[in-house]
Homo-oligomer: A and B are copies of this chain.
Amino acid sequence: MMNSLATALSDFFFEYETPRQVLVRNKHIGVVCRLVQLAVLGYIVGWVFLYEKGYQSTGSAVSSVLTKMKGVGFTRVNGTERVWDVADYVFPEQGDSSFVIMTNYIMTEGQRQGTCPEVRPHFDWQMTGKCVNETGTCEVFAWCPIEHDREIPNPPLLMSSENYTLFIKNSITFPQFQVFRSNLVEGIDNKYLKSCIYNEEKDRYCPIFRLGDIVKLANFEFSAIAREGGTIGIIISWECNLDLPIKYCRPEYQFHGLYRSVEEEESAKASVGYNFRYAKYYMEGGVEKRTLIKVFGIRLDITVRGEARKFDIIPTLTAIGSGVGIFGVATVVCDLVLLHVLPKKNLYKNMKFKYTVSQEEVSCFPESVTILNLQPSLRGMSSG
């Protein structure tokens, strides 16, 4: 028993089997099949390997974004001048990746809880029951006086916001590859940061953006978006080939308007319109009051998209293995042509296949009886 196992093992290790093949000497099929095989090989090597970098594994990123606005705005409404600094016009103030820059506003000062006639009929405040017949509106219990927001100031009150600057700090980690990068890439030092402004051609890696430039790059007209507000997406796109030196792993900034309506989709223009209400509360004479501000502004949504690629043995071997499989498909196609299309198909069939007798027939003769073909000219086609 042990002996036969040892024999089987030694047989297994000292033998090697390789498929027997017919070598068809036919120019037509030869050229066609070789070309098909070369095409498959070209596809695997050229496309899957080189173009699509199938030898690399892919890893996604974990990222963090900090923002800082700079600039001062100035308004003059009904003769009253006012300056607006960052603490006044950025919401929220702590430098998030998604924030709003106020560019226009409707301010309702001195609101307090009480009763007053509503501005439009059927507004959703609490009704008191009293109705003022002349205007067709009713008295409501609300923050009074009620906001008049029918007319949006035009031109926008804070047109100077066009010159505000935005500083983006973005840090990205590819945990799978243990790679850490910041958007302050090589060559960006404090001196450069003090003077640079992002420019698609000249200063592609400067992380300081003029608000007017962002709006233009997102295909908006500044006066329109400043008046009614709007949403702009900034995508920081990292596509890093980590087989190259790390300094080539650099961000690309993309800007596009969000919230296109379906009708506008063909024209690829995003619609304007973004606002929210914000209240500053205070006490005056023991009564709680508030200043309600309807803020129209530019909302910036900063998204980071990171993908790193690096050589990895597993996708490489998977690509090779699956390529060999496709190679097999090419062979099957050639065989079909060989056995069913070519004029000498029967000859090839006979050479390719050896038939066992069907079960019904007696097959007492061992196969090796069939030989005895001694003619030398036929040796090539001999029993081998």
Q: Which of B26, B261, B320 interacts with A14 by CB under 8 Å? A: B26
Q: How far is the CB of A313 from chain B (nearest CB, A)?
A: 8
A18-62: which have CB < 8 Å to B?
Answer: 18-27, 29-31, 33-34, 43, 47-48, 52, 54, 62
Q: How far is the CB of A32 from chain B (nearest CB, A)?
A: 8
B22, B142, B352, B378: the one contacting A365 at CB < 8 Å is: B378
Q: Pick the contact of A169 from B47, B83, B259, B305 — CB < 8 Å?
A: B259
State which of B34, B86, B180, B368 has its C-beta within 8 Å of the C-beta of A277: B86
B21 and A261: CB pair below 8 A? no
Asked if A149 lies at the interface with its beta carbon under 8 angstroms from chain B, I say no
- Return A142 CB to nearest CB of chain B, in Å: 5
Q: Does A311 contact B (CB under 8 A)?
A: no
Interface string of A331-371 (1 = CB under 8 A from B): 10011001000001011101111111111010101111011
- Interface range for A: 35 or more
A289 close to B (CB within 8 Å): yes
| B363 contacts A382, C-beta separation under 8 Å | no
**Contact partners of A282 in chain B: CB under 8 A:** 281-283
Question: Which residues of chain A from 237 to 293 have a CB within 8 Å of any chain B CB?
Answer: 237, 256, 258-262, 265, 274, 276-284, 288-292
Of B16, B335, B361, which one neighbours A18 at CB under 8 angstroms? B335
Instruction: Please indicate the chain B residues that have their CB under 8 angstroms from the CB of A12 in the complex.
Output: 34
Complex Cα spacing A192 to B317, Å: 49
Q: Smallest distance from the beta carbon of A356 to chain B beta carbons, Å?
A: 5
Q: Which residues of B contact A355 (CB under 8 A)?
A: 22-23, 25, 380-382, 384
A289 and B283 within 8 A (CB): yes
Interface of A is mostly: mixed
**A24 contact set on B, CB distance < 8 A:** 15-18, 356
Complex alpha-carbon distance, A376 and B86, angstroms: 96
Which residues of B have CB within 8 Å of A235?
62, 175
Interface 9-residue window, one of A150-158, A194-202, A215-223, A321-329: A321-329
CB distance from A200 to the nearest CB of B (A): 18
A24 to B367, CA, bound (A): 13
Say whether A325 contacts B321, CB under 8 Å: yes
- The residue of chain B having its C-beta at the shortest distance from the C-beta of A160 within the complex is B126
A224 in contact (CB, < 8 A): no
Q: A64 and B301: CB pair below 8 A? A: yes
